[in-house]
Amino acid sequence: MTDASDFLAADWGTSNLRVWRLGADGQVKVVRRLPLGVAGLKPGEAERRLRQEIRPALGAEDLPAILCGMVGSKMGIAEAPYADCPAGAADIAQKLLQTDERTFIVPGLRCTRPDGYPDVIRGEETKVLGWLRLDPRRAQGDHVLCLPGTHGKWVLVRDGRIQQFLTCMSGELFALLSEKSVLRPGAPPSDPAAFAEGLKFGAADGPLASRLFTVRSRMVGQGLPGAKAASFLSGLLIGDEVARMPQLLGLKRGSTVGLMGDTHLCALYGPALTARGLKVELADAEQAVIAGLTALHGART
C-alpha cells in the first residue's frame, strides 16, 4: 500500500536510471534499476517514460517526484539551471525546477575553481548532500570527497555546504585513449603490478602528454602485452589525478578523503590515495543519493 507521504526519487544519468519509492524518512519501499540513460532517449521521451512507465512500475502515479542527474540537462526532461556555490540542501531546494504539478528536478551546481576557472556538476551534488545527512558530524569543518567516474569530481565541503569542486576527465581520457588513439592496448586492464607501476609514474613530474606516449613505446619497442599496457595506462591517469587534485584543494598529507562511487573504481582509487599519504573513508553512493534526495524533498516541503 502506498502511504500519502511517500515520494518517488530517481538518480537518472546518461547511461542508467535508478528509481525508488521512498517513505518520508527515506526508507526504501520499491526500487527499480534500468538501462534507460537519457543519452539514448529522443526529445520528449524521458518525460513520457516517467509518466507512462516509471511511475506506474513503482505505484507512484500520483506521488511527488524528485529527480537528479543528467535528466536535468538538455538531454533529459528539461534543463535545470545551475545554482551557485557555496550551497547546502536548503539553497539547492530553492532552485528545484518544477516541470509539472508533482515533478521536481535538482539543479546542478557551478563554482569557481581554485585556479580561477569555472566548473560545473550535475548529479554528484545530491550524493554529497546525502553524505552530509548520513553523519551529522560532517556538518562542521572542511571535508574533501572524491567521486571517481567518467568525469570524476573532487568536492570541498565547508560547514555543511558545497564550497568548491574540481572535475577530472581521467575516465573519459582512458576510454578515448584505449579505443581511438595510437595507445590502443587491444585488451582490458587486468594486471595489478602494471597498474601499480603506472600509478607511480603518473605521480612523477613532467608533462602528462609525454608520459602517456610511453604506453605506445613500451608496446611496440618492448613487446608489452595489451592487458599490461591497459593497466599501466589506467594507473598512469589515476596516478596523475591523485597526485595533483588534492593539492589544488589544499589537502595535506594525513588528511582524510571521502571516496564514493563505483566499487571497481573505488578499489583503484583507494590504494592510489593511500600511497599519497591520505586516509580513505569509503561511502556508499546509493545510500548517499537516497539520503540526498530525501533531504531535498524534505527541504522542499
Q: Mean pLDDT for each 10-residue chunk of the chain (301 residues)?
A: 86 95 95 93 95 96 97 96 96 96 97 96 97 95 96 97 97 96 94 96 95 96 95 97 94 96 96 96 97 95 71
- Which of the listed CATH numbers 3.30.420.310, 3.30.910.20, 3.30.420.40, 3.90.25.10 matches domain 112-301? 3.30.420.310
- Beta strands, E only, the chain: 7-12, 17-22, 28-34, 65-68, 83-84, 97-100, 103-105, 109-112, 118-121, 142-147, 152-158, 161-168, 256-260, 279-283
Stretch(es) of the chain classified as CATH 3.30.420.300: 1-78
pLDDT at 3: 81
pLDDT at 300: 84
**CATH of the domain spanning 1-78:** 3.30.420.300
pLDDT at 150: 93
pLDDT at 69: 97
Stretch(es) of the chain classified as CATH 3.30.420.310: 112-301
- pLDDT of 261-282, one tens digit each? 999 999 999 999 999 999 999 9
DSSP secondary structure string, 156-188?
EEETTEEEEEEEE-HHHHHHHHHHHSTT--SS-
- pLDDT of 73-131, one tens digit each? 999 999 999 999 999 999 999 999 999 999 999 999 999 999 999 999 999 999 999 99
